[in-house]
Structure 1
Amino acid sequence: MAHWQPQPKIITQKIPNQHIFLYQGFAELINDDKIIEGKVFIKISWHPSPNINFKFTYFGEDRIGTENQDKLELKLTELVPQHRLRVYISSSTYWGNKKNQLTGHLIEPFFKGTTNNLASVVFHLPNFWWFNISNHFDDEEDEEGNLVEIEREGWLMFDGQFIFDYDNWHIVLSTLDNCYELQELLESEGGYGVTHICKIERLDKTTFTLEEAYQIIEAFSYYLSFVRGIWIAPLLVSGFDSEGNQLLEEWRNPIIKGDSWQHGNRWSYLDSTTEIVAPFAGFMKKWQDPTWKEVIQNAIQWYIESLKHFNGYNTSIILLQAALEKIAWTFLKVNEYVTSDGFNGLKASGQIRLLLKSLDVGLEPIEKYIEIQKKAKELNWNDSVLAITEARNSIVHPQIKSNKSEFPSEKIRREVFQISNIYLLKCLLKLFEYGYSID
């Protein structure tokens, strides 16, 4: 396969939240034996999260009932062959013989083409950050033992490309040309912007189905969301054959509800390097392990949601420590460090402390955290693990004694969040076999 294939249609936006139109033309709205002719506009809208909406307009007094929409379909008469979409009407406006308008959304995916025998799939991603570096060059030894630079598969001449390989799957993540300018607008205005495009294929060039592709798309989207610190939604999957000919176009509400632009808590120490690729193989090992998949899903979900502490840190602290305890139970049990009875006999602080020790994650010194250090002597905390679990307990089971000063204060909660966040991030990266120091 030539390295520039396939050559998909590239989605570009000049400003955040710019609609992406998928179809504009004549259509029929059908409900059982009732048919209304009109025009429809189908587009990707962005709020409250990326989704595919439609607006159907027509003239006349005909009405489509909205009380029973089980058989409601849109027939796109300008497509060849014509296609029908299952839709739901969420609002309607009628003006007698004047223009009438119905709006709604897709309720199931729409496929144009085949979902089998795909050599590659391509999709877009919003709100990932700009990078202009690449790892599609690698050093290999020639027959004489000299290191020579080998070009791994690049794609479409994009400046920034990260290549992720795992278990016969080859993933190329590329920065779109307008990403830098769009990111500047997103940082000042918020919202959504399509910043990257991604290709997935097999290293041995064998074909696959869309269902198989989605197993990788879901995993990769979770991984990028973990890296970015916000939910990243895959948009508009298309499929191609080995010659780069398009076989499939899919319209689907994203399998992940993407977040609007936030600075998040991305891995600052990996921000401008290809090191974000390094933990991916270890992540996939855990993701494909039935014992670990739900644990990893939950941990990443709670990690990302914990970063959204807009109204204080209570929820974030509870989520982070729930993730640590769930990881502790699974890791310690799988590796036979402790029995079920032994685990249940430990307090939460003991469970987390044993997890950290087993993963070789060092304890955060209390001395680094001014407010917690002040409380440590008063409340007999001997390390930061006890500090964060006691703070969590005081939120969930408040038993503040009258002779103690108010606890926990917002300043203490912030420091407890910081420590819990560090512990969860380090534990996850250790589980993903990331081999470099992350202190």
Structure 2
Amino acid sequence: MPEIGPMNQPEDREPMRPVYPFNEPGSSIALYEGPIVGVAPGPRVGRIELSCRPNNGLRWHIRPEGSDGRVDPRPASLMVQRRGGDWTVEAHRRNLSEGWINMARFSLPDARLRRVIAHWMNLPKISGPIGLTTSDADGRRWWLGRWKTEVDGWILTMDVRPDYAEAMAEAHTTHLYLITHVMEIRRADDGDFDVESVEQLLDCLRVTFSFAFGRWVAPVLPVGYDAIGDVVWEMWTSPICDPAKRIPSAWLFKGRPEDLTELTRKALPAFRDQRRPGFARFQMCMAIQAVESGFVEQRILAAAPALEHLAWANLVSGQRWSRDDYSNRYAEDRLRFLLQEARIPTDIDSVILPALANFARPESLDGPTATTRVRNRLIHPQTPEDQIYRHDGLVQDAWLLSRHYVTLLILHSIGYRGSTVSLVQQTGWEGNAVPVPWADGEAPCPEPRMPPIRRNGRRGNRPS
């Protein structure tokens, strides 16, 4: 049952209805049932669905006949009848009766949209400040379930499914996929918009929300309506999405919808900044890969290009340093410069990161130097003494601090001024969020002194 609460809230609303009903954990979502042409000598009764078990993706199935012959290994063009017309879908065969689809778009020529309904897969329960209420056979129920914001000329409204807790309990146990939220997208002036603009918006939201919660989440099955309410655009995709699971990886606490609003309002302009095309997207994607992808060593190596990209984007592309200024400084010094500029502490907490602190103590290294040396020794070990595995827990600590740096520097670069949950302290209440270090005061962060030019020769396993 959803959370029960007062029924006389002035902001209570009826929940939005998804176009495709909320599925049970692991249950497929039927997208099309009817005749399918293109994978057999004649029309066959078939089905296209979004499979949610064990791996998500678009699947097609037909009922084969004895005369269908051998499997053709070439891609197929399925012809399906829907919304009063014939549509072609590019597909691939697995055998005579089934296969998969990467993407399908159904769009009228020069479609102009008034609103879009998108479904979200495996989002955490974002506690919106607006109450939702509905009635069913079990009575009347109420829950805080709507998040709404205006950002970059768009109005985004997102509702959580009423049975979220029960549905996700099973999905967490079995690592399945399910629709958790439904979102409506409109222009703030209630005007029309084109398909390309909403596809770009959805991609930005996909990466931004995934960055916030530390795992890939995805908008799926968006449906676009014109001014008179007719469907004029729809898109099916095999989503990039992690299965539902509990991992302590989110820097944004789901119980603070104001922080999600602040992040979204800063991320959208950063994504479409033509002075830095693709910069914010690349950095966030690397940050997501640095969370739970593969071995801990792989996560460190995913954080490394993000840190390097942040330094280059802010210092060289930002026309603050010349290329020679950049290349003549060590990587750790460039990183320290960015951290000091954002007021992010550079010391190592020996209680939270004991292994990294022990590694750094003999040479009095700070955080930027210690994490850079661990990364460099992973890639370029020079002597047996360089082996970092002699230090129990060192790789784990270096990963935690590297990811902490990546996350805060991305947030600083886009101008975020909300709160974050610690990514290095792995115990405690998940809602223990604190303001970002640069949020205090209105004055800009002072620029640190330019680091010294690097000397010839190596300096303790420091990369050039």
Say whether the fold is shared (TM-score over 0.5): yes
Superposed, which structure 2 residues align to 1:144-183 within 5 Å? 159-183=144-168
Q: Deviation of residue 346 (structure 1)?
A: 0.9
The aligned residue for residue 428 of structure 2 is none
RMSD: 2.8
Q: Deviation of residue 389 (structure 1)?
A: 0.3
> Match for 2:240 among 243, 246, 257?
257
What code does the residue aligned with 2:175 have?
G
1:74 aligns with 2:96: no
The aligned residue for residue 35 of structure 2 is 26
1:329 aligns with 2:339: no
> Match for 2:283 among 277, 299, 313?
299
1:38 aligns with 2:44: yes
The aligned residue for residue 346 of structure 2 is 363
* TM-score normalised over the length of structure 2: 0.78
> Match for 2:398 among 402, 410, 416?
416
Most deviating of 108-117 and 344-353: 108-117
Q: 2-side partners of 1:158 and 1:238: how far apart?
A: 26
Q: Deviation of residue 26 (structure 1)?
A: 2.8
The aligned residue for residue 121 of structure 1 is 116
> Match for 2:436 among 431, 435, 438?
438
Using a 3 Å threshold, how does the CA distance of structure 1 residues 5 and 39 change in structure 2: closer, same or farther? same
Q: 2-side partners of 1:316 and 1:365: how far apart?
A: 20
| Secondary structure at the counterpart of residue 225 of structure 1 | helix
The aligned residue for residue 375 of structure 1 is 359
The aligned residue for residue 264 of structure 2 is 280
Q: 1-side partners of 2:89 and 2:51: how far apart?
A: 18
What code does the residue aligned with 2:91 have?
Y
Cα-to-partner distance string for 1:48-77 (whole Å, 9 max, x where unaligned): 7532110111323133761444xx333335
Q: 2-side partners of 1:107 and 1:268: how far apart?
A: 31
Using a 3 Å threshold, how does the CA distance of structure 1 residues 37 and 336 change in structure 2: closer, same or farther? closer
What code does the residue aligned with 1:91 have?
R
Check conservation: 1:50, 1:253, Cα contact below 8 A.
Answer: no
1:9 aligns with 2:19: yes
> Match for 2:332 among 333, 349, 356?
349
> Match for 1:106 among 86, 89, 101?
101
| Secondary structure at the counterpart of residue 36 of structure 1 | coil
Check conservation: 1:394, 1:400, Cα contact below 8 A.
Answer: no
The aligned residue for residue 148 of structure 1 is none
> Match for 2:194 among 203, 209, 213?
209
Q: Deviation of residue 166 (structure 1)?
A: 1.9
Q: 1-side partners of 2:304 and 2:276: how far apart?
A: 18
Check conservation: 1:228, 1:265, Cα contact below 8 A.
Answer: no
Q: Deviation of residue 231 (structure 1)?
A: 1.2
1:385 aligns with 2:368: yes
Q: Deviation of residue 400 (structure 1)?
A: 3.3
Q: 1-side partners of 2:18 and 2:179: how far apart?
A: 15
Using a 3 Å threshold, how does the CA distance of structure 1 residues 294 and 264 change in structure 2: closer, same or farther? farther
The aligned residue for residue 146 of structure 1 is none
| Secondary structure at the counterpart of residue 126 of structure 2 | coil
Q: 2-side partners of 1:410 and 1:208: how far apart?
A: 55
The aligned residue for residue 98 of structure 1 is none
Cα-to-partner distance string for 1:252-310 (whole Å, 9 max, x where unaligned): 214x5112123344445623111221122221221111343422222111111111254
Cα-to-partner distance string for 1:65-113 (whole Å, 9 max, x where unaligned): 61444xx333335x45242333334222xxxxxxxx4211235423165
Using a 3 Å threshold, how does the CA distance of structure 1 residues 198 and 40 change in structure 2: closer, same or farther? same
Superposed, which structure 2 residues align to 1:45-84 within 5 Å? 45-46=51-52, 49-63=55-69, 66-69=72-75, 72-77=76-81, 79=82, 81-84=84-87
The aligned residue for residue 232 of structure 1 is 217
Using a 3 Å threshold, how does the CA distance of structure 1 residues 341 and 55 change in structure 2: closer, same or farther? same
Structure 2: gaps spanning 5 or more residues: 1-12, 133-141, 419-434, 438-464
Q: 1-side partners of 2:394 and 2:148: how far apart?
A: 41
Q: Deviation of residue 222 (structure 1)?
A: 0.9
1:197 aligns with 2:182: yes
Q: Deviation of residue 120 (structure 1)?
A: 0.5
Q: 2-side partners of 1:340 and 1:41: how far apart?
A: 56
Cα-to-partner distance string for 1:167-213 (whole Å, 9 max, x where unaligned): 21111122111222111112222121110111111000110112221
Q: 1-side partners of 2:173 and 2:182: how far apart?
A: 23
Equivalences, count:
398
Most deviating of 276-285 and 222-231: 276-285
Check conservation: 1:43, 1:54, Cα contact below 8 A.
Answer: yes
**Identity fraction in percent:** 17
| Secondary structure at the counterpart of residue 121 of structure 1 | strand
Structure 1: gaps spanning 5 or more residues: 93-100, 138-156
What code does the residue aligned with 2:26 have?
N
* TM-score normalised over the length of structure 1: 0.82
Q: Deviation of residue 227 (structure 1)?
A: 1.1
| Secondary structure at the counterpart of residue 367 of structure 1 | coil
What code does the residue aligned with 2:164 have?
C
The aligned residue for residue 301 of structure 2 is 318
| Secondary structure at the counterpart of residue 354 of structure 1 | helix
Check conservation: 1:136, 1:162, Cα contact below 8 A.
Answer: no
Cα-to-partner distance string for 1:355-409 (whole Å, 9 max, x where unaligned): 112222222434342112222233x14211111000001001012345x785463
What code does the residue aligned with 1:44 have?
L
Q: 2-side partners of 1:5 and 1:305: how far apart?
A: 34
Using a 3 Å threshold, how does the CA distance of structure 1 residues 438 and 188 change in structure 2: closer, same or farther? farther
> Match for 1:185 among 147, 156, 170?
170
Using a 3 Å threshold, how does the CA distance of structure 1 residues 334 and 309 change in structure 2: closer, same or farther? closer
Using a 3 Å threshold, how does the CA distance of structure 1 residues 173 and 7 change in structure 2: closer, same or farther? closer
Q: Deviation of residue 216 (structure 1)?
A: 0.6
Using a 3 Å threshold, how does the CA distance of structure 1 residues 357 and 268 change in structure 2: closer, same or farther? closer
> Match for 1:425 among 394, 407, 431?
407
Q: 1-side partners of 2:16 and 2:209: how far apart?
A: 23
